[in-house]
Amino acid sequence: MSVFSSETSETSEATGWVRTRQDGAVLTVTLDRADQLNAQTPATWTALAAVGASLRDDVRVVVVRGEGRSFSAGLDRSLFSAEPGTTGGLGDLGRLDAAEAQERIRGYQAGFRWLRSPGIVSIAAVQGHAVGAGAQLALACDLRVLADDAQLRLPEATLGLVPDLTGTSTLTQLVGYSRALEICLTGRAVKAAEAQAIGLANVVVPRDQLDATAADLAAAVTAPPVAASRATAALVRSAVRNDDETQDAAERAAQVLRLQELVGGR
């Protein structure tokens, strides 16, 4: 039986510098702008959202990585200009009507939020700098493998802004309220060893082992039967918002479905 494989290899501003490769059940999404440390633009977020919207049903794991020496240095510097005329820049965004600006940001957030969609588990493979939008992209994933030189920073508040690419919710889920508040307000770097200690990183490995470790984790995640894996992931995700009674009921309902399938029931 053949294993499905596909790849998009040409990247440019038109593609948001995003390329993809699917090997069987694993889709790898690569930020491919190494000469600019994978700095992101609205085109990047549009491209990421399009990947999420076009996922094949057979994709079970999405690995997000950055080409070159850094995962992503965050927002492209040209977009920080307050002057009008920079397409997608902060100046243009700030001149929009409030409702229109919020809707624009909602579209940007779509490039991140799909990474916790039902049916997939997402893994960020992070090396070097993951700053601002780069850190939030790593946080948007379910799991994170960090190289030992990785650093995550959310400097938005120090620049007079706020994290707005889904980062506040995902960070707080991972490390708790007080630590998330401190990381966001100070904008300090969280290095790999600390990231592992506080729950931001699932594992830290030498830089030359990053891709192989992410691949091993992807293989482990796809090992269980697909229906059981997806049902378990759904339960763990719902546990962060459900009270105990609601979560217990969700476990019962999910288990009955699994048992019925195992015995050939309805």
Domain with CATH 3.90.226.10 in the chain: 5-223
Contact status, residue 186 vs residue 156, Cβ threshold 8 Å: no
Positive or negative: CA dihedral 42, 113, 136, 183: positive
| 227-262 CATH, one of 3.40.50, 1.10.12, 1.10.3470, 1.20.1260 | 1.10.12
Comparing C-alpha atoms, which of 2, 20, 75, 9 is closest to residue 43? 75
Domain with CATH 1.10.12 in the chain: 227-262
| 5-223 CATH, one of 3.50.50.60, 3.90.226.10, 3.90.1150.10, 3.20.20.140 | 3.90.226.10
From CA 266, how far away is CA 62, in angstroms rounded? 31
State the pTM of this model.
0.94
pLDDT of residue 188: 98
Please tell me whether residue 20 adopts helix, strand or coil conformation: strand
Distances from the Cα of 114 to the Cα of 70, 91, 137, 190, angstroms: 23, 27, 11, 25
Q: What is the pLDDT along the chain (266 residues), one digit of tens a residue?
A: 346 777 877 788 889 999 999 999 999 999 999 999 999 999 999 999 999 999 999 999 999 999 999 999 999 998 987 776 666 788 889 999 999 999 999 999 999 999 999 999 999 999 999 999 999 999 999 999 999 999 999 999 999 999 999 999 999 999 999 999 999 999 999 999 999 999 999 999 999 999 999 999 999 999 999 999 999 999 999 999 999 999 999 999 999 999 999 998 55
Please tell me whether residue 211 adopts helix, strand or coil conformation: helix
pLDDT of residue 41: 95
> Residue 223: which residues within 8 A CB-CB, separation 6 or more?
none
